[in-house]
């Protein structure tokens, strides 16, 4: 569970990026953050794994203040998927997925099994894809690897910052349906940033509508439709 309590962020140049942000994301819930460019979505995400420090207020994960976690422990437990696909170009797909499990000193056999399981989960045949290099994959396939790499070491929380925005509509739909399936199977707590209202409504258990560093409304997609 992630909880923001009266969080504010003022950047050193005086920009008030987040004005008063309180939000609860329950365990196993997928919340989409939606709003125009510059409304504070990325700032909000980066505060969760302490890439950015709030100016005021507190953030809790499982009711413990994030400042009270060891920073590595905190980040290892959070998978982060970014818009720009950032696979390591000189590592095979298998090696890319294994990076965090290896840091966590998982056994070789467990890593290999996890690799296969994850590739199958997103419909990529391990025997074909494991040994390929990132540049031998399409954009959509690379982004799928980006998603499963974030899941590899089984983090409780997954942050996704416009992970599909660079993709063509078909790959995008495919990945949205992958995420919905993953969410059902693995019941992770996910915060998903998008500026696409259809994507926000299709994916979110709850949709958090942001504007100018604040929350306009948080509701289920159904309620948002009823009360526009
Ligand atoms: P979004 O992800 O919704 O596009 P951001 O969180 O990136 O929004 O940015 C929120 C506001 O904070 C914007 O006005 C942006 O220009 C500003 N901002 C982001 N990063 C910095 C920074 N490092 N220094 C100053 N202002 C920043
Ligand atoms: P910046 O100051 O531009 O945020 P960083 O070196 O902190 O640069 O991060 C570069 C990119 O990698 C950022 O987009 C950030 O979100 C991501 N990143 C850095 N460290 C981590 C981490 N521990 N977990 C997840 N993503 C990270």
Binding site membership of 80 for ligand 2 (Cβ less than 6 Å):
yes
> In 3-state terms, what secondary structure has residue 139?
helix
60 vs 121, higher pLDDT: 60
Q: Which residue minimizes the CA distance to atom 2 of ligand 2? A: 51
**130, burial (CB in 10 Å: exposed 0-12, middle 13-18, buried 19+):** middle
Question: Which ligand gives the minimal distance to the CA of 34?
Answer: 1
Average pLDDT over residues 208-213: 96
The position carrying tokens 């962020």 is: 9
Mutational pocket test of ligand 1: of 17, 208, 210, 216, the residue with most ligand atoms within 8 Å of the beta carbon: 17
Which pLDDT score, from 0 to 100, does residue 176 have?
Answer: 86
The atom of ligand 2 lying closest to the CA of 45 is: 16
CA of 61 to the centre of ligand 2 (A): 20
Question: Which ligand gives the minimal distance to the CA of 14?
Answer: 1
Which pLDDT score, from 0 to 100, does residue 115 have?
Answer: 96
For the stretch 124-180, pLDDT in tens is 999 999 999 999 998 888 988 998 898 898 899 999 999 887 777 887 888 888 788
User: What's the CA gap between 223 and 228, in Å, rounded?
Assistant: 8
Which pLDDT score, from 0 to 100, does residue 225 have?
Answer: 75
CA of 40 to the centre of ligand 1 (A): 6
Q: Give me the sheet containing 16-25, strands edge to edge.
A: 64-65, 56-61, 2-10, 16-25, 214-219, 206-211, 30-34, 189-194, 157-161, 78-81
For the stretch 44-97, pLDDT in tens is 999 999 999 999 999 999 999 999 999 998 998 999 988 776 899 999 999 999
Q: Which of 2-6, 65-69, 187-191, 210-214 has the least mean pLDDT?
A: 187-191
User: What's the CA gap between 114 and 128, in Å, rounded?
Assistant: 16
Question: Which ligand gives the minimal distance to the CA of 40?
Answer: 1
**219, burial (CB in 10 Å: exposed 0-12, middle 13-18, buried 19+):** middle
Q: Which residue minimizes the CA distance to atom 8 of ligand 2? A: 51
ipTM over 0.85: no
Mean pLDDT value across the chain = 92
Q: Which residue minimizes the CA distance to atom 10 of ligand 1? A: 40
- Whether residue 118 is predicted with pLDDT greater than 60 in this model: the reply is yes
The atom of ligand 1 lying closest to the CA of 193 is: 2
Which pLDDT score, from 0 to 100, does residue 227 have?
Answer: 63
* Percent above pLDDT 90 for the chain: 68
Which pLDDT score, from 0 to 100, does residue 151 have?
Answer: 86
Binding site membership of 164 for ligand 2 (Cβ less than 6 Å):
no
* Percent above pLDDT 70 for the chain: 98
């Amino acid at each position: 569970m992630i909880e923001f309590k009266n969080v504010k962020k003022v950047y050193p140049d005086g920009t008030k990026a987040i004005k008063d942000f309180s939000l609860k994301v329950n365990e196993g819930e997928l919340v989409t953050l939606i709003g125009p460019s510059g409304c504070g979505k990325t700032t909000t995400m980066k505060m969760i794994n302490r890439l950015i420090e709030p100016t005021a207020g507190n953030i809790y994960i499982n009711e413990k203040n994030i400042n009270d976690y060891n920073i590595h422990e905190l980040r290892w437990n959070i998978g982060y998927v970014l818009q720009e696909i950032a696979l390591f170009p000189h590592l095979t797909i298998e090696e890319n997925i294994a990076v965090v499990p290896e840091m966590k000193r998982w056994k070789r056999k467990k890593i290999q099994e996890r690799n296969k399981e994850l590739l199958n989960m997103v419909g990529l045949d391990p025997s074909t894809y494991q040994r390929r290099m990132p540049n031998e994959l399409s954009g959509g396939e690379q982004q799928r690897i980006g998603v499963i790499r974030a899941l590899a070491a089984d983090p409780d929380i997954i942050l996704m910052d416009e992970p599909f925005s660079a993709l063509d509509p078909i790959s995008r739909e495919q990945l949205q349906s992958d995420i919905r399936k993953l969410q059902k199977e693995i019941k992770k707590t996910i915060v998903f940033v998008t500026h696409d209202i259809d994507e926000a409504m299709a994916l979110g258990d709850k949709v958090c509508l942001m504007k100018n560093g604040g929350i306009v409304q948080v509701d289920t997609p159904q309620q948002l439709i009823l009360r526009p």
